[in-house]
A and B are shown apart, each in its own frame.
Chain A
Amino acid sequence: NAGVTQTPKFQVLKTGQSMTLQCAQDMNHEYMSWYRQDPGMGLRLIHYSVGAGITDQGEVPNGYNVSRSTTEDFPLRLLSAAPSQTSVYFCASSYSRDYYGYTFGSGTRLTVV
């Protein structure tokens, strides 16, 4: 099924652990992005990519790393998890961030204890 696939849906980490949130799309979208959603706040951009091999920081990049080796995949790495990274994470993609709507993944609920 065409769309954005995020895994895992739920994850519990201990402080200091590392992990990778996976995001894959099969729509040949150039633009991909990661957001976190916290209670009482709007979605905030963590990192984004405008094409394979190109990534850049968003509003809240600290503690996160990304790479874009292929058009399809855009993994988000938590280097050393902290309780402040407890959040719901969404990946989204678009043909282009400028002129098209976005397709969102189903989200990953992450708890850091």
Chain B
Amino acid sequence: KNEVEQSPQNLTAQEGEFITINCSYSVGISALHWLQQHPGGGIVSLFMLSSGKKKHGRLIATINIQEKHSSLHITASHPRDSAVYICAVRSGNYGGSQGNLIFGKGTKLSVKP
């Protein structure tokens, strides 16, 4: 059973489209992270949030703690947004490793020109 589920697994969009990536989790959390993994493999932290909404440029992240759900939105998508987007949650109680991140499998986004 995966504690963190992302959908869709793969997403292809045309340049300019509005994109939504979803993350659902089953454990109690204190924070949720969105990460971006470039085609070359490097991982960059985009957002860390525990409530509400955060915005950075064309990226918006929202979280609903009651529904255990978060979304990452990309407005006016561009081919350079093509990457794998990873959701990770910080659980307050996960076995013997309290407070470490639990990762989703990622959503592979491809934006066509």
Contacts and interface: CB of A to CB of B under 8 A. Distances in A.
B97 A56 contact: yes
Contacts of A64: none
Contacts of A100: 48
A48 B30 CA distance: 19
B41 A44 contact: no
A104 B100 contact: no
A66 to B, nearest CB: 14
Contact of B99 (A88, A97, A104, A107): A97
A33 B100 CA distance: 9
Interface string B45-60: 1011000000000000
A41 B90 CA distance: 18
Interface in B86-102: 86, 88, 90, 95-97, 99-102
Contacts of A92: 43
Interface stretch (B13-21, B63-71, B103-111): B103-111
